[in-house]
Amino acid sequence: MKPTDVLKNEHVHIKEMLSILNKILGKIGRGQNVPVEDLLNVLNFIKVFADKCHHGKEENILFPAMEEAGIPRYSGPIGVMLIEHEEGRRYVKAMSEAVEEYKNGSLNALEKFMENAGNYISLLEQHIWKEDNILFNLADENISDRVKMELIEKFEEFEVKEIGEEHKKQLKILQALKEKYYSSR
């Protein structure tokens, strides 16, 4: 297994959550009730699993290794990924603010949530495609086998130190939301 395989596997879970978020947007758009708890669980998954865990591995471990292999950090694919990570964080922040406004009775908050969630889904779908088909190939071609093994170890250490049991908890939340939103209309 390569370190990029670990990240691609995480992309599968992130895309599942994006699909759930899209189903939630459909329900909201049809005027159906979506529990605030579900919105908070989706946002927490994005913040913890997608950003802190997944993007953390990329930004703190993979990208520096790619730099050491001669791929520039702030131009080319790495630079684009970093910009998109920040753009995604802005959408997530706006979604979180909208949920808080909704909890406090704002009628316009769901529109704000829907707009930012739609933008986030679009961004992440394209972002994941670029990583899976361009960036990760670049990493596989330029990082030595020895360093690839070290990266897998660093990913595991990062997950234990930075995420801990939260990784498993987030996957359980994902599973529960999948069961709820894929079994209902």
What are the residue ranges spanned by the domains of the chain?
Answer: 3-183
Question: pLDDT (tens digit, 9 = 90+) per residue, 59-118?
Answer: 999 999 999 999 998 888 999 999 999 999 999 999 999 999 999 988 799 999 999 999
pLDDT band at residue 20, thresholds of 50, 70 and 90?
very high
Query: What global pTM score does this model have?
Result: 0.94
Q: How far is CA 128 from the centre of its chain?
A: 9
Tell me: pLDDT of 185 over 90. no
Amino acid type, 137:
N
Mean predicted confidence (pLDDT) in 153-178: 93
3-183 has which fold? Four Helix Bundle (Hemerythrin (Met), subunit A) (1.20.120)
Buried-exposed string 106-143: b where 16+ CB fall within 10 A, e elsewhere: eeebbebbbebbebbbebbeebbeebeeebbebbeeeb
CA 89 to CA 49: how far, in whole Å? 13
